[in-house]
Amino acid sequence: MARKHDESLASLGRFSEPAFNILVALADGPKHGYAMTQDIEEMTGSRPGPGTLYGAIARLEERRWIEALPADDRRRPYRLTSAG
């Protein structure tokens, strides 16, 4: 029997909490990494490091829960997909 791919936040391991925070930050519209970091800091009281933030972003993109938009100057905004 084929094993079903787990698409839950828990399947993201140590990135599950940062991923959840990213999804919440993007709920009110597209944002780039720095804006997400600021929103997450306001929500949680702590600021995710770049490795944690972009690691979680990469995993969310792999699952197609978020997608990158065209770069605005040097910043790349992300938005939720219908799956996210």
> Domains (ranges, CATH) in the chain?
14-80 (1.10.10.10)
Separation CA 82–CA 25 (nearest Å): 15
| Mean pLDDT in residue range 5-18 | 68
pTM, full prediction: 0.82
Separation CA 73–CA 43 (nearest Å): 27
C-beta separation of 28 from 22 below 8 A: no
Least confident of 32-41, 50-59, 67-76: 67-76
Separation CA 24–CA 50 (nearest Å): 18
Listed in sequence order, the DSSP H helices in 1-83 are 16-26, 33-44, 50-62
